[in-house]
Amino acid sequence: MAELTHRSRRVPLPRPWGPDVTHVHVVATRVTSSAGVGHGFSWTPRAGAGAIAGMLDEFGAALAEPLDPAPVWDRLWADAHEAGGGGVTTMALAGVDIALWDLRGRTEGRSLVDLLGRRHTAVPVYGSGVNLHYPVADLVAQARRMVAAGYAGVKIKVGLPDLASDIARVAAVRSAIGEDVALMIDANQRWDLPTALRAVSALAEFRPYWLEEPLRADDLRAHAELRRRCPFPIALGENLHTAYQFREAILLGACDIIQPNVVRVGGITPFLRIAELARALGVGVAPHLLPDLSGQLALTLPGPVWVEEVEDASFAALDVLSAPSGVEVKEGRLAADTGPGHGLRFHWLDSDTRTPVPSAASSPPLLADHP
């Protein structure tokens, strides 16, 4: 009999992402079966943690062996689709799917990377900051820290009400990091199409490596129009949730690079399908956030791939793991030696080293663990 347990934590960010994002929510999951135990997680900075927990209760009630990840994912997603094809549905499914892949790796005695097929010994990491609220001096100092740490790329936020302020910040960072470091720019859906068109004309002199999510993510046709008129690549995908949405974005010509978030798309199973779709249709892949896991997946992807690491926001930096995972970033490159599975064990739900916690039905309220 398969059993799904989950428990949530509201984890403080050492570097808040803004006055409204001082914590992230991590939902640790565990699947116990006749074959052993697998660990997983879901994650959200602000919205939906309680709804994710509720969906996990429904998935737990429907979980049954055999626990081959892909067929289980397809069945659970089809059953839950009336609640939404993506969003809370897929974010909760990630907690199940990631645990099932960990279970498979541990059962077979292989790391997740080797189970999926290792293609790289290490992949490049770009330093990222959620820094739109930083004064220019702090923004420049962060960019310089990233370059000093060996990152070959730096990403900063834009999208202030005054476009001239955005341009000045980009100019300051480009001057600080030099011409040889890739500069990614992320608008986080803050522009409309006319504003974005003005912005890309002004930004071109700073040679952006890509412009990320300039428009509302749902408006794929507007992204396609912007891409036709933009002199540098467009990246998109952290707020897309299904392979169907990624396929539409690619076929419309909305982006040059897709950025699936392994939790928001529903876990490892759909992430791999989306990455294969991108390969077949000739666009790049740059996984969004969560380098502790997305970095492991990047090691299995064909061709060049970047991994994103937001300063002081990895699971290792947040001190939520019960032991080192085996994922390391040194001199701007990520490598992984995790042992069987993916190596991610959250200290509040780690059956190997901690006292077992109550089942989901009797767990404390979602936010009770951190004031």
Catalytic residue positions? Answer: 157, 288
Of 165, 207, 172, the C-alpha closest to 190 is: 165
Q: What angle do CA 140, 143, 147 make, to 5 degrees?
A: 135
CA-angle at 349, arms to 343 and 355, nearest 5°? 115
Residue with tokens 């690619």: 250
Contact 90, 318 (CB under 8 A): no
Alpha carbon distance 241, 270 (integer Å):
9
How does DSSP assign 168-217, residue by residue?
HHHHHHHHHH-SSSEEEEE-TT---HHHHHHHHHHHGGG--SEEE--S-T
DSSP 220-245: HHHHHHHHHH-SS-EEE-TT--SHHH
How does DSSP assign 81-114, residue by residue? GGG-SSSHHHHHHHHHHHHHHHHHHHHHT-BHHH
Report the alpha-carbon distance of residue 66 to residue 59 in Å, rounded.
Answer: 15
